[in-house]
Structure 1
Amino acid sequence: MNTSHHTSTTFNCKAIALDLDGTLTNHEKVITPLTKKALLEAQEKGISIILASGRPTYGIAPLADELGLDTKGGYILAYNGGKIVEWHTKEEIYSNCLPEDVIPEIYEYAKTHQHALLGYKGKEIVTECPTDKYVLEESRINKMPVRKVENLLDVIERNPTKLLMTGDPEEMKKAETDLAGIMKGRMDVFRSAPFFVELVPMGIDKAESLKRLLAIMGIGTENLMSFGDGYNDISMIKLAGMGIAMENAAQEVKEAADYVTLSNEEDGVAAALKKFIE
């Protein structure tokens, strides 16, 4: 357990940014009662909650509703920062999308190599490969139904923020390298799980989007507490006045943090809130 870089244990927190999978939720993808209680108490103190995830907006919505963001206010930072929505008003504060010309190229690559490719349409996941086990995993994580389509290009939402390619880890490693080369300077390509390749606009990053949001909220980064466990959380952990890594986080994530809390199976979020927020 790291000790904090801060001398005092109390921290003037005005906003809490939370990654979801492996951080806010346990292995069953649920928020446990203790963590929920701690976050509701933080909101009572006037602290804003920001749910920051690679998931699409509607994959975050049930958790946002559970934490009362639909009534009390709060923010969904979806697609790893590609879209920000104020969840009480449903106002889209920021949105970034893939350049139109890359989408057919991604589609052709997926077809040629027989990888599953999926997009999002409202509250559904759309794909030509509805039985692919990794597509079904994306459906489980987000609690979003899968709809089979004949041609993905005809169906995906206009100006998508993200597409997701799925497949066996070794194949996705190669796909990540291939596409990073093909798309260099036009879009970003990264793996969010061994079997998921995220295809997103250039420079999409949780910290960059949080900076935009905090500026709108009138809150300084020194009053931000960020929680995460994955490589895509490092930037927002470093950005925050109090960056917290989960015990189950990757080593590099722990090294970037001010403090390491308990794991996502042990209410690590609640434990850290108890320690640092009066």
Structure 2
Amino acid sequence: MIRAIFFDFDGTILSHTTKRVPDSAIYALNLLKKQGILTIVATGRHITEIQEFDFCQNFKFDAYITLNGQYCFNETETIYSNPVSKNDVDAILDHIQEDPYPCVFVEKDRQYMNFYTDSVIEEYKKLGTSLPTLENIERARIQPIYQLSPYLSEKQEKELFTRCHDIKIDRWTDYVIDVLPAIGGKDIGIQKVMEYYDLKHNETMGFGDATNDIPLLKSVGIGVCMGNGKEEVKQIADYVTDSVDEDGLYNALEKYQIIK
């Protein structure tokens, strides 16, 4: 019996086309709640971005795996916390001073960056959320940083990698990467949340569409790729449903007889 379902956000719950959650997905998520099945979002986004969407102001997930697994929590407490090492944050700050590029610094409850470019503005238009505030990024030398998102060239990326010793990188567009701790990712966050709720592997299901969702789909009992997902994600999924705009989430839950 499925007791918990993990959902990527962008391209899975939220449509890239309409920038809203389809009515069928809202209906399905509310049905899951009524049936006592845990609904858990697993996203690269920060909680402040999720809260900007009208749907998420009204619907409360049982738990949140944010920042690609680096900060996990529910309404009562922090479940798991895994910041980037101070040495690596300092190395990135030093690199930016020498060869400036825009970079988003993400703390537990806020995100900010040093300056905007056309690429930054364009990417946030695609995301459908507000630009991070402009602040003095030197505060990142003091505060725990859970994720960084530099907008940099391949040459700068290679240089960054030589300076840091405990990171891994997820590139999500041609312009921007996510920098995470080397031991981190959605799979680690899911593991910690499963332990917290005492969930067995065969009691879980997950939905995703992007390459950073591959660890998610491999971590659950049933892994579902959206029809709009990347080909490499479809290849490892247990099932490929319709696209987010074609009621894919609802249709897969109905196929597996999860919702009634």
The answer to whether 1:13 aligns with 2:36 is: no
Preserved CA contact (<8 Å) 1:139 1:146: no
Deviations 1:174-221 (A, max 9, x none): 33333333324x222221222221112221111121111111101112
SS in 2 for 1:249: coil
Specify the alignment match of 1:127 in structure 2.
113
The answer to whether 1:187 aligns with 2:167 is: yes
190-199 vs 30-39, greater mean Cα deviation: 190-199
Measure the CA separation in 2 of the matches of 1:181 and 1:144. Answer: 32
Of 94, 100, 103, which aligns to 2:86?
Answer: 100
Specify the alignment match of 1:112 in structure 2.
98
Measure the CA separation in 1 of the matches of 2:200 and 2:107. Answer: 35
- For residues 6-85 of structure 1, the aligned pairs below 5 Å read 12-27=1-16, 28-62=18-52, 65-66=56-57, 68-69=59-60, 74-85=62-73
The answer to whether 1:154 aligns with 2:139 is: yes
Preserved CA contact (<8 Å) 1:128 1:148: yes
The answer to whether 1:202 aligns with 2:144 is: no
Distance 1:163 1:156, change over 3 A: farther
Deviations 1:96-153 (A, max 9, x none): 111112112112323433321122367654222134432563476263443222x311
Distance 1:211 1:123, change over 3 A: closer
SS in 1 for 2:224: strand
The answer to whether 1:177 aligns with 2:158 is: yes
SS in 2 for 1:265: helix
205-214 vs 119-128, greater mean Cα deviation: 119-128
Q: How far off is 1:157 after superposition?
A: 7.2
Deviations 1:236-277 (A, max 9, x none): 101211100111211111111000011122221111111111
Distance 1:45 1:13, change over 3 A: same
% identity of equivalent residues: 25
Deviations 1:46-105 (A, max 9, x none): 111111011112222345734622xxx60110010001010x33x211111111121121
Preserved CA contact (<8 Å) 1:58 1:142: no
The answer to whether 1:250 aligns with 2:238 is: no
State the one-letter code of the partner of 1:211.
Answer: Q
State the one-letter code of the partner of 1:159.
Answer: P
Q: How far off is 1:161 after superposition?
A: 0.4
SS in 2 for 1:17: strand
Structure 2 unmatched runs, 5+: none
Q: Alpha carbon RMSD of aligned pairs, Å?
A: 2.3
Q: How far off is 1:155 after superposition?
A: 6.1
- For residues 212-227 of structure 1, the aligned pairs below 5 Å read 212-227=192-207
Distance 1:142 1:112, change over 3 A: farther
Structure 1 unmatched runs, 5+: 1-11
Specify the alignment match of 1:163 in structure 2.
148
The TM-score with structure 1 as length reference comes to 0.83
Measure the CA separation in 2 of the matches of 1:209 and 1:146. Answer: 24
Measure the CA separation in 2 of the matches of 1:163 and 1:258. Answer: 32
Deviations 1:9-30 (A, max 9, x none): xxx2211111111111101332
